[in-house]
Amino acid sequence: MAKRMSRRPVVLALLLSLAAAGCGSGGAGSGGADPGKGGKLTVWLAVDAKESWPELVDDVNKRFAAAHPGVEVAVQYQQWTTKNQKLDAVLAGNNVPDVVEMGNSETTNYIVNRAFAPLEPTAFEQSDRWLPALADACRDGGRTYCVPYYAGARVGVYRTDYFTRAGVAGPPRSYPELIAALDRLKATLGAKDPNFSALYLPGRYWSAAMAFVKDAGGEMAVKDGDRWKGALSSPRSVAGLTTWKGLIDAYYVGDRAKDNGDQPAVIGQGRVGVFYGNTWEAEAAADARSGGDPKLKGKFGTFAFPGPSGQVLPPFLGGSTLAVPAKSDRKELATAWIKLFTDRRSQEALIKANTLPNNTAQLADVAAGGINGPAAQAAARGWVTPLAPGWTSVEKSNVLPEMLERIATGKASVADAAKEADRRIDEVINER
């Protein structure tokens, strides 16, 4: 469930409105300034909660109602594609929600422009065990501005029947075993079908490529003093990109100028042995509604994708956080609701819904033999995009996918494409 930035916030309008209104300004949607006597608490959640764990939302609202009688909780479900645009618009006025869900890669611009109220981490259960990649996305200048909600980590997903046909005993546990399995798939199934990919790895799939950069000790960008700069052309980053390009050349058959947006549908065509993705994509590949093939149901297994370093390939950690807009006049109630929605009981419900918890302690509660077991193992090495004020502009400019396409299609060498990407990153990464 990796979340993507939909657009850059309207920062100037936001800053002007915050300066004029102040953090304590009341919002009509918040239901009044007295946090203790009735009114309404407005909560914006992404539609995932409605579709995948509605019972959790109901349970938290019942518990909240028992503790705060007379306060109505109005949960409004938002689509990821339009959520940020709507949020930017309401933040420029006074009619703000009291709790908002954010993708963990969406928070930085809002936090650095102080659109969210600071929160005290100790008010929330297991805050000392929050997954680092989620917790870091919530922090700035030593303060915390959001609370980790749930996580998702990419893993290796494989066709169990294809492994059997190729004579591969089971999921690979090391990088040499992974290469050996891919070689067997290519030599057997690939020999009979020229369109078969032992490993599905399209060129513009940036979070997969950056996992190899991270595994090699590289970075997309680094902070130098109080400024950020691109780091893709560093020796370690180039080494990671070179390994990624080698895997494409050896095992991927297909359009190198595409991304992974239609991955489940492609996997559903039956010409892929292994892919790197979210566990839910295995289910989607067997679901006709996603363009998959129902005949593939039950034919996928998962494994913690091994990296060349000898450790699990560090995955981009998708997931969500919860924040309180600075303009909300129900901050105490908003904090109380978030506390319930992220406590141990709620995290247990997320685990039952095949979602990873927000903390390292409860990762151990994810069944090792279940579909999410490898994801729980990988999550501990999870990372997020650089917490730079202008990273939204980097994503919006498609710097990473365009660099990767040039490398994957052979239009540029790894070193030249990475150097050009760094130049483009440096132009916008420090924007606010």
Do 53 and 101 contact (CB within 8 A), yes or no?
no
Q: What is the pLDDT of residue 37?
A: 56
CA proximity to 319, closest of 102, 84, 98: 102
- pTM, rounded to two decimals: 0.86
Question: Tens digit of pLDDT per residue, the chain (432 long)?
Answer: 334 333 333 333 443 344 333 333 333 333 344 444 579 999 999 999 999 999 999 999 999 999 999 999 999 999 999 999 999 999 999 899 999 999 988 899 899 999 999 999 999 999 999 999 999 999 999 999 999 999 999 999 999 999 999 999 999 999 999 999 999 999 999 999 999 999 999 999 999 999 999 999 999 999 999 999 999 999 999 999 999 999 999 999 999 999 999 999 999 999 999 999 998 899 999 999 989 999 999 999 999 999 999 999 999 998 999 999 999 999 999 999 999 999 999 999 999 998 999 999 999 999 998 889 999 999 989 999 999 999 989 999 999 999 999 999 999 999 999 999 999 999 999 988
Residue 207: Cβ within 10 Å count: 21
Q: What is the pLDDT of residue 190?
A: 96
The SS3 assignment for 167 reads coil
Residues 6+ apart with CB under 8 A from 298: 286
Residue whose pair of structure tokens reads 């065990």 in the numeric block? 129
DSSP string, 100-163: EEEETTSHHHHHHTT-B--B-GGGSTTGGGB-HHHHHTTEETTEE--EEEEEEE-EEEEEHHHH
Q: What is the pLDDT of residue 397?
A: 95
Instruction: State the first-to-last Cα distance of the chain, in angstroms, to the nearest integer.
Output: 27
Residue 209: phi, psi to the nearest 5? -60, -40
The structural domains of the chain, ordered by start, are: 11-152+318-376 (3.40.190.10), 155-316+387-428 (3.40.190.10)
Q: What is the pLDDT of residue 371?
A: 85
The helices-and-strands tally (H runs, E runs) of the chain is 19, 13
User: What's the CA angle centered on 384, arms 247 and 1, to 5 degrees?
Assistant: 80
Do 357 and 350 contact (CB within 8 A), yes or no?
yes
Distance (Å, rounded) from C-alpha 399 to C-alpha 421? Answer: 6
- Which ranges constitute the DSSP H helices of 140-296? 160-166, 175-192, 206-215, 235-251, 263-267, 279-284
Residues 6+ apart with CB under 8 A from 72: 31, 38, 39, 40, 41
Task: Identify the H or E element spanning 374.
Answer: helix 373-379
